[in-house]
Amino acid sequence: MTADMTKVVVTGLGATTPLGGDVPSTWAGLLAGESGISAIEEEWATRLPVRIAGRLRVEPSEVIDRVQARRLDRCEQIALVAAREAWADAGRPEVEPERLAVVVGTGTGGALTMLGQDDVLESSGVRRVSPHTVPMLMANGAAAWVSMELGARGGAHTPVSACASGAEAIAMGLDLIRLGRADVVVAGGTEACIHPLPLAGFAQAKAHSTRNDAPQEASRPFDTDRDGFVIGEGAGLVVLERAEFAAARAARVHAVLAGAGVTSDAHHITAAHQDGQVRAMRLALATAGLAPQDVQHVHAHATSTPLGDVTEAESIVAAIGTHPAVTATKSMTGHLFGAAGALGAIAAILALRDQVVPATQNLENLDPQVKLDIVTGRPRRGALTAALTNAFGFGGHNASLAFTAEPV
């Protein structure tokens, strides 16, 4: 069997998000149209033009051992939470350590540790800086901790591709299995950077919503009144397996990771480009052996920025058409940056598994430039056999993943 013919299945799902501390509660929140976005109550927020965020519904300190948690950045903590759930959901596969790999992407890594320890250094001196600072701030920390948790010796990788990181990690997991380098890969993304400095930077760039008086209505993808994204935090990981390996242990399969497309724009550091997005989606379809008409559902990146939403909408039309049912769940969770693509993948997988697409919230007036079938109001049920999820990031990073339903 050649590498590009290897079937890869998803056997485990794990997440902690602004809607819930695990996948079932997050999925229930998406289907119910709940919002995980709220006002930032800390005093430091009063001096910022942005005072809203998508905070975790369940604190990792409720799950992670206290001693271990003190040695981990928040993004590492929540990666472990999601990894443990995904691994348990997959039935804890018995796999040779050298055939088990980990890929956990992130946009900022241990930003909270870096900024916090810098404050300690400035205010209290070098002797007060934590000796765990470097392992806590390094971007590869989450992948390293997950690999140690699971005993994975087939590689621990960290794509750092801004908001495409989580989806790119899953694409890399697909490659590792298809290239014969692993039988099982735990892949996804993590992010935790709700802090005055990132919020101030996004506010100065006019990228973040300032709808502080109505947090739950602030993230409004494709709506004419959108004014930017809302920062969120969370982690999402999936367990990928070579289909034959999963079948040999009679594993339950959520969906098939059929293909992936990763491209770069080489265009602008923050402005998206339609060409790169279209190529990513077409590559995902090509590697999956799918035609555009085969796709019934698209989980859009759709961050709620004026330019970004229109660019993606036009890209979806160009690459796939106007027929798929499209949803934008950042309207409920906010934008999880490096974890966004992984959470979008999980939502697309569950849509295929349960044959239902969550509704986009806060879409009251569809932007006339958006020529898509956006699911609004209530979740939409229907026959779904193939879905695509998008993740795009600053720097011109584009990642699209194609999933198909596992035949019953």
**335 an active-site residue?**
yes
Q: Which of 157, 254, 297, 335 is catalytic?
A: 335
Neighbours of 395 (CB within 10 A): 18
> Rounded distance, CA 219 to CA 226, Å?
7
Q: Which of 157, 208, 254, 301 is catalytic?
A: 301
Burial (CB count within 10 angstroms: exposed 0-12, middle 13-18, buried 19+), residue 158: buried
Structure tokens at 302: 């759709």
Answer whether 165's CB lies under 8 Å from 341's CB.
Answer: yes
Neighbours of 253 (CB within 10 A): 17
Q: How many Å separate Cα 186 from the centre of its chain?
A: 14
**Adjacent-strand bridge partners of 374:** 326
Alpha-helical runs (H) found in 9-164: 23-32, 66-69, 74-89, 111-124, 133-137, 141-150
SS3 351: helix
Neighbours of 87 (CB within 10 A): 21
DSSP state of 178: H
**Adjacent-strand bridge partners of 299:** 327, 389
Q: Which of 163, 208, 254, 299 is catalytic?
A: 163
Catalytic residues: 163, 301, 335
